[in-house]
Structure 1
């Protein structure tokens, strides 16, 4: 077997930087760190109980992913998605997720339906007694479980990045109390179509779910804009 020359050993990843990355990522998803305020890396490092270096690395990584913006010598803030960017995210999700559910409906892996229904059972319980953040975590788990079950890892990675972009819409836009029952109904429709082995129905159920989610996010955005205009009239 040929020997590879000219390469050096890979260093172990910085666990503190990874920890800071995950904590900051969760804070964006949960709306703890949100669009508007300017945040200090030093204060975040103090809150997390670590030095500024891993926090800085986490901020740089999330900036590269398009979730944060860095202001030189001032701090960082959460990016705001433009209307065109929001539309692109939803359009891409539609293309990828309909492909995923078609694949699942055409060739459903053993226990796939049971695994998906188990997530929905947990999400239903959280809708009754949990928090907005917990509901959003399970929503994400449901959507990212499907490409894993379909053995589509690259599609899953891409969808994961698109889900990250969705966080920039804000938790209030993505997990509104009045939407909980509708979201669960829409999720069950997707799984029912997969279980029935109906690719067309599965794709239609995903498209409907994304359309209603987009409409809810758009309505939330218009409400904020109207409120801003009233306050500044």
Structure 2
């Protein structure tokens, strides 16, 4: 059984992951559609920038977030002065870091799903008088929805396991920013913390495994629908 503190860690991790996915999913859909359906100058540069967090050390991404959204950062200070809302050393900052790290995975899954939609169907709908917004929501997104959901699941799984960017940006404050990964790391530094490490590792494995299974099932379902 998990202790009260461990339950709080799991619940906070789930909240951070859900908020990260919910906040970044609309942008991921827009970016996936843009890369799949439009050709424009700088497209390769945009593609590289979106996927940059996958190849950068997570600590570098966390430091960049701290410089931008920290209390003394250009965006963070202006946001704090205007609204009193901040990201640094708060759970919202953990959600932001998780969203940034999971964003490339979401965009890639969504882009592949949209590319699998036959453009001739979209052209036919437009020829029949459907406005672009209706074509996108009524046709493209409807056919690509398994990939969108799969991308969201991948982003959720990534957010659950995020460590480097999160701990650099918001540290590991119990009850505020201490997620599964940072709690496990902290327990490893404490004599006698092996039991807590084992319990939290099992929770992380189960949650990540279920998320990946759901993602793979959705992708296989999409392929089956394309084949029929």
TM-score, normalization: structure 1? 0.30
| Bigger relative CO (Cα 8 Å, ≥ 6 apart) | 2
TM-score, normalization: structure 2? 0.31
Structure with more of its chain in helix, by fraction: 2
